[in-house]
Amino acid sequence: MNQPIKVSNHPFRFLLYLEWILLVVSASAVLIPSHFQRFNNQSTELTIFSLLVFGLMGLRLPTKNKFIKVVYTIIEVILIIFISFYNTKPSGRFFPFLYLVLVTRSCFIFQIQGRLFVTTLSLILFIFSISQRKPPRPSIQLSPAIQERLLFYNFVVALLFGLALVFVLMLMNTILSERESREKLAIANQKLRQYALQIENQATLEERNRIAREIHDSLGHSLTALNLQLETALKLWQSNPEKAQTFLARAKELGSKALQDVRQSVSAMRSHPLQEQSLEQGIANLAESMQRTTGISPILKINLSHPISSEMTTPIYRIIQESFTNICKYAEATEVKLELRTTDTDLYLVVEDNGKGFDLGQNTTGFGQQSMRDRTLALGGKFNINSTPGSGCKIRVEIPLPRYSQ
């Protein structure tokens, strides 16, 4: 805590109220006249003034500058010494509450070493103040038995007061430690929320960039080819209508493909692609979509012997969707196989096609590889892709299952 502790920002306001109550009790003890000796107005005024100064000092506790904290504590000790030893006469009063207040304040000001020092000093001063007290009538000689009882009484009082100081010290240490832990936990939670928001924003940005690249590569290419087909058809419309009609038919196919690419991009932007469906149903829908697009019916082999957490289903669905999309666009395959299975500890996914393949050395970031790799690594898994020109492509994904999902 860098700012001084005041009434407005006191972490435990009830302790401040309790401190004032103890000071009021101490002041009341001064105002109650003693029958052993005539009441001394000057002594009472000085004691009340010292208690007032001691109480006002509790309204602002230093917590930053070490020198100021030491000077502050020394002034408090001087005031307590004055109040306690000024009243060690026969009619004097005990002021044990001041030491409790001193220890409580030291817990807000110092670390554990300083707290222990102030607690020990308070106990020593209290024992010394008891030893300085004299019987009300010095002329009366006390028997050895009474003196022994009085000594034992003082010993018991000092022991009980020492235990009280230790209890206050331990209680304050516990309260402050718990408060510090809560503050650290709150800060950690705040940082975690910020990190989560940053990761979410980064993931959203990467997904948008990926979709933008997909639109540029697929839709842009289709529209460019469509424009060329239409221009050629216009040029041949008068001289060769039959050939122009062929170019128009090709333009229609390109327009349909561009529309399909747009629908796929919009589908990829949905936050919940499964839409309350199970992963098996989502994969079946992807296979059906591939069959409508390419005429290929993927061979599916799914064996989920262990449940998959909701945090894993969407990334796995996206990986399968990305691999199917790449096969439809580029692979020119006639057969596609998908195997998805779980063991006691891991999930395995294999997507294989017999298409034209590609050179991994020349396509390190294409075909959605980076997106699938990032999703796999985010789940703590391993991503591997094997392909050579003319021999198809095989994607392997291995993801460990969280303990709570097993």
What confidence tier does 381 reach under pLDDT thresholds 50, 70, 90?
very high
For 318, other C-beta atoms within 10 Å of its C-beta total 17
Buried b (16+ CB within 10 A) or exposed e, 338-367: bebebeeeebebbbbbbbebbeeeeeeeeb
Locus of tokens 């989920």: 304
Buried b (16+ CB within 10 A) or exposed e, 8-18: eebeeeebbee
Asked whether 157 and 94 are in contact (CB, 8 A), the reply is no
Domains of the chain (ranges, CATH numbers): 5-134+144-192 (no CATH), 277-406 (3.30.565.10)
The pLDDT tens digits for 267-290 are 666 556 676 788 999 899 889 888
Asked whether 68 and 110 are in contact (CB, 8 A), the reply is no
The pLDDT tens digits for 47-94 are 888 888 988 988 888 888 889 999 999 999 998 888 877 654 444 456
The pLDDT tens digits for 185-224 are 989 888 888 888 788 778 778 777 767 766 666 677 677 7
Residue type for 370, please?
A: Q
